[in-house]
């Protein structure tokens, strides 16, 4: 264990936890006030104290539980779970909704369950999240180059005859490079190859796209073509938990096979009630979505002369080595910005970066001084 930790330290890749306090968009760390540029609170709902007070004022007694005290398949099935699932099923007509404790446990255990189906191959984008990669352990899978539809097409052509089903795994808005998946093209593949199923994770896009706020797939009107659509609640929705949207049969399959659902205490009812409260208001956060779009354009323009990536509000400044990325992150910290370096294995080796994730409440003049520091 000690050797492992020493190795990480020598590689400038040692993680430690920080104790932080919050004041709106600022983090208080060791007495220093730092602009938070690494939260996934894209719509700034998590720092909207008024919104949370409103929720707490109206919480019903039947949902006022900080624990479900059991797995949902035993006595943890509080009625609020089905209420939220019904709401989501109403938003995504034709889909069945199933709540999970987190995006990680959803991806990990649903993919693990799907991998038990005979004659199944997964084709996974090279940059999918760790939770999906972990679910693939022991599965038949190949990775395709990130967002490279030609590479995926070659793999489909080569393998489609040998498997009963091929499940393509992608994110809608990628968490680290901040770019969009080619969802329309993925759906097109389903017309050519009849045994394809699409699994799309909207962790970083739900809340922020479409006038309903329900995500990129919804904005494209393609929800019926996505067989497994994943929403997570811990980012733009300022809550916790996740939801799988799929067919009735698939929902029953996961209820019986997804180990993280079966063998874990279900979400706290109060938390599910808060997620429902947010979803009920999601389409009213248009001002926040517009502000997020505007500040993202401003920021990308500000950094246009640097090596940046990102199609929306996740903007990554590519550095390369762990050492240089850590150096820059420290410099930012000393100058009032909280934007830690992201290193392998979260991103590929030698692509260490500063990943800026923006939010609706950021002000242009707060971001301006950053340019001089890079
Ligand atoms: C693409 C993606 N999926 C899933 C997750 C995990 O979601 P959760 O934080 O709800 O466990 C993350 C978390 O960062 C993510 O980026």
Confidence label for 354 from pLDDT (cuts 50, 70 and 90): very high
| d(CA 102, ligand 1 centre) in Å | 8
Dump strand ranges (E) for 181-249.
196-201, 228-232, 242-246
What pLDDT was estimated at residue 268? 98
Q: How many domains does the chain have?
A: 2
Adjacency order of strands within the sheet including 228-232: 96-100, 242-246, 228-232, 196-201, 165-171, 120-125, 141-144
Q: Give me the mean pLDDT over the 170-181 stretch.
A: 96
Question: Is residue 314's pLDDT more than 90?
Answer: yes
Question: Are 127 and 228 part of one and the same domain?
Answer: yes
Asked if residue 43 belongs to a domain, the reply is no
Q: What is the CA angle 220-223-227, rounded to 5?
A: 135
Q: Which of 283, 298, 313 is the last residue of a domain?
A: 283
| Same-domain status, 120 and 20 | no
Nearest to 26 by CA among 38, 15, 42: 38
pLDDT score at 156: 98
Of 252, 283, 314, the residue that ends a domain is 283
| Banded pLDDT at 2 (limits 50, 70, 90) | confident
Res 154 pLDDT > 90: yes
Q: Are residues 28 and 72 both part of a single domain?
A: no
**Residue bearing the CA closest to ligand 1, atom 16:** 175
Q: Is residue 215 part of a domain?
A: yes
Q: What are 147-150's contacts with CB under 8 Å, separation 24+?
A: 147/174, 147/179, 147/181, 147/182, 149/182, 149/185, 149/186
Nearest CA to ligand 1 atom 4: 103
CATH number at residue 234: 3.40.640.10
d(CA 162, ligand 1 centre) in Å: 32
Average pLDDT over residues 192-213: 97
97 and 21 in a single domain? The answer is no
Gap between the Cα atoms of 340 and 365, Å rounded: 21
pLDDT for res 175: 93
What span, in angstroms and rounded, lies between the C-alpha atoms of 101 and 236? Answer: 16
Cα-flanking dihedrals φ and ψ of residue 54, to 5°?
-60, -40
What pLDDT, on the 0 to 100 scale, is given for residue 30? 92
Query: Does ligand 1 have an atom closer than 6 angstroms to the CB of 104?
Result: yes
Average pLDDT, the chain: 96
Are 211 and 274 in the same domain?
A: yes
Instruction: Tell me what pLDDT residue 318 has.
Output: 95
pLDDT digits (tens, 9 = 90+) for 70-103: 999 999 999 999 999 999 999 999 999 999 999 9
C-alpha 104 to ligand 1 mean position (Å): 6
Residue 175 Cβ inside 6 Å of ligand 1? The answer reads yes
Residue 269 lies in a domain: yes
Q: What is the pLDDT of residues 214-223, one digit of tens each?
A: 999 999 999 9
Q: What is the mean pLDDT of residues 294-323?
A: 96
201 ligand 1 Cβ < 6 A? yes
Residue 16 confidence class, pLDDT cut points 50, 70, 90: confident
Q: Distance (Å, rounded) from C-alpha 52 to C-alpha 45? A: 9
For residues 133 and 191, membership in a common domain is answered with yes
For residue 213, tell me if it sits in a domain: yes
Instruction: Specify if 41 maps to a domain.
Output: no
The residue range of the domain holding 212 is: 53-283
pLDDT at 11: 84
Residue 29 is predicted with a pLDDT of: 94
Which CATH number goes with the domain that contains 342? 3.90.1150.10
Average pLDDT of the residues in 8-20:
88
Listed in order, strand segments (DSSP E) in the chain are: 21-23, 26-29, 32-36, 96-100, 120-125, 141-144, 165-171, 196-201, 228-232, 242-246, 308-309, 314-320, 337-338, 341-342, 352-357
Query: Quick one: pLDDT at residue 13?
Result: 84
* Confidence (pLDDT) at 12: 83
For ligand 1, atom 3: residue with the closest CA: 203
> Which neighbouring-strand residues pair with 34?
27
Is 113 in the same domain as 146?
yes
Residues 322 and 364 placed together within one structural domain of the fold: yes
Asked if residue 217 and residue 124 are part of one domain, the reply reads yes
Same domain? For 197 and 216 the reply is: yes
Q: Read off the pLDDT of each residue in 354-364 and give the average, rounded to a whole number.
A: 97
Residues 233-292 have pLDDT tens digits of 999 999 999 999 999 999 999 999 999 999 999 999 999 999 999 999 999 999 999 999
Instruction: Say yes or no to pLDDT of 346 above 90.
Output: no
Give the pLDDT confidence of 241-257 residue by residue, as tens digits: 999 999 999 999 999 99
Residue 195, judged by CB atoms within 10 A of its CB (0-12, 13-18, 19+), counts as middle
């Amino acid at each position: 264990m000690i050797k492992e930790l020493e190795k990480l330290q020598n590689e400038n890749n040692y993680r430690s936890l920080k104790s932080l306090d919050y004041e709106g968009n600022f983090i208080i760390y060791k007495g220093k006030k730092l602009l938070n540029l690494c939260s996934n609170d894209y719509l700034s709902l998590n720092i909207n104290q008024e919104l949370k007070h409103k929720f707490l004022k109206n919480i019903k007694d039947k949902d006022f539980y900080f624990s479900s005290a059991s797995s949902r398949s035993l006595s943890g099935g509080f009625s609020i779970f089905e209420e939220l699932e019904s709401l989501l099923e109403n938003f995504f007509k034709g889909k069945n909704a199933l709540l999970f404790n987190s995006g990680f446990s959803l991806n990990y255990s649903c993919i693990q369950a799907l991998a038990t189906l005979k004659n199944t191959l997964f084709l996974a984008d090279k940059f999918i999240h760790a939770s999906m990669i972990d679910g693939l352990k022991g599965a038949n899978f190949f990775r395709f180059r990130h967002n490279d539809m030609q590479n995926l097409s070659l793999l489909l052509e080569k393998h489609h005859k040998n498997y009963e089903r091929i499940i393509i795994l992608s994110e809608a808005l990628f968490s680290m490079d901040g770019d969009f998946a080619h969802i329309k093209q993925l759906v097109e593949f389903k017309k050519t190859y009849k045994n394809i199923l699409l699994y799309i994770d909207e962790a970083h896009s739900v809340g922020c796209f479409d006038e309903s706020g329900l995500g990129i797939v919804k904005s494209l009107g393609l929800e019926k073509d996505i067989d497994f659509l994943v929403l997570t609640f811990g980012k733009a929705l300022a809550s916790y938990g996740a939801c799988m949207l799929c067919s009735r049969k698939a929902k029953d399959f996961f209820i019986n096979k997804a180990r993280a659902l079966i063998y874990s205490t279900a979400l706290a009812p109060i938390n599910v009630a808060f997620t429902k409260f947010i979803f009920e208001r999601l389409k009213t956060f248009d001002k926040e979505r517009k502000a997020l779009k505007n500040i993202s354009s401003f920021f990308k323009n500000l950094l246009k002369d640097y090596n940046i990536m990102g199609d929306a509000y996740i903007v990554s400044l590519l550095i390369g080595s762990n050492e240089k990325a850590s150096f820059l992150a420290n410099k930012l910290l000393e100058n009032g910005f909280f934007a830690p370096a992201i290193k392998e294995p979260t991103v590929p080796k030698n692509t260490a970066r500063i990943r800026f994730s923006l939010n609706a409440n950021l002000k242009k003049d707060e971001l301006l001084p950053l340019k001089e520091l890079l």
